[in-house]
Amino acid sequence: MDFFLSLLVKGLTLGCIYALVALGFVLIYKATSVINFAVGEMMMLAGFLITAFVGLYGLPLAAAIGLSLLLMVLFGFVLERGVLRPMIGRPVIGMIMATLGLGIFLRGFAPVMWGVDKKNLDLMLPAQPLRLESIVVPPVDLAGVGITLFLLACFAYFFQRTRSGIAVRAVADDQQAAMAMGIRVSTVFALSWALAGITAVAGGVVWGNKIGVDQYLSLLGLRVFPVVILGGLDSIAGTIIGGLVVGASENIFGGYFDKYVGGGLKDFVPYVLMLLVLMVRPYGLFGREVIERV
């Protein structure tokens, strides 16, 4: 039982910080119906920026994170203006390909700028893990859970309660009708990319601290894809539920059955889960259903 509990708690915390990355998909999809395949790369870029500011320019950590936030928001705006706006009104697949290209570019660009060796992103958290009987939670995971829940709450409030948030959802529903209400679609898109930039910094901080910053940090983007599909591509709540389900199940399956199959279940279980959910709910657990009136 102890073993199970510790696997579960570990899985759930892991799931929480998966959700952090997954947010990058959802924010963009919600407004623009584009799957942003550069999520992992944007996170990697944020990680590189922070380590560069600290390591090369000797900035204090807080300042480095603040500056990266600013730069990533700017990055979001520039990206929207330069790469994506010309494609508004064209088939969505064009934009999706553009995010793929952007990802590949960033994966090549970052090592050229800052080198291929793994850098530590030290958050100066206490090294002593939190213990509750047999359950052990490292401080970084705890910080990750905290950041995730905080961001989720912020975004949920933004989309449900603020007029700008409602405008974003209106654009997601019907772009032309939104235009007819005076909503500037390009501004909404830019806003979404800026928000995605913010989550990229959060993800970069947490995951950079957990596994170090190098180009392989970007692989997390695809790793959390089952989380996004499971939760629903356009659901904020779905990211956290999807994250928890994937995190817990991959940890539990891995913990119990890896010894029989020689390992690797962790990478495999989330995709099986994703396929099973898709059979029952094609838009994910919490995704937007297609409303049909009869």
Query: In the complex, which residues of this chain contact another protein (CB under 8 A)?
Result: 89, 163, 166-167, 169-170, 172-184, 288, 291, 293
DSSP 77-125: HHHIIIIIGGGTTS-HHHHHHHHHHHHHHHHHHHHHHH-SS-B------
Toward another protein, which CB reaches closer, 132 or 181? Answer: 181
Toward another protein, which CB reaches closer, 134 or 164? Answer: 164
Query: Shortest distance, CB of residue 293 to another protein, whole angstroms?
Result: 7
Query: Shortest distance, CB of residue 160 to another protein, whole angstroms?
Result: 9
Query: Shortest distance, CB of residue 155 to another protein, whole angstroms?
Result: 16
Query: Shortest distance, CB of residue 291 to another protein, whole angstroms?
Result: 3
Query: Which CA distances in Å does 201 have to 10, 214, 293?
Result: 23, 15, 42
Toward another protein, which CB reaches closer, 184 or 259? Answer: 184
Instruction: Report the interhelical angle of 2-32 vs 139-161 (nearest 10°).
Output: 40
Toward another protein, which CB reaches closer, 169 or 266? Answer: 169
Tokens 């009136």 found at: 293
Output the CA angle 272-276-282, nearest 5 degrees. 125
Toward another protein, which CB reaches closer, 8 or 88? Answer: 88
Q: How many CB atoms lie within 10 A of CB 263?
A: 11
Toward another protein, which CB reaches closer, 56 or 290? Answer: 290
Query: Shortest distance, CB of residue 178 to another protein, whole angstroms?
Result: 7
Surface-to-core class of residue 67, CB atoms within 10 Å of its CB (0-12 exposed, 13-18 middle, 19+ buried) = middle
Query: Shortest distance, CB of residue 156 to another protein, whole angstroms?
Result: 14
Alpha-carbon span 44 to 59, nearest angstrom:
19
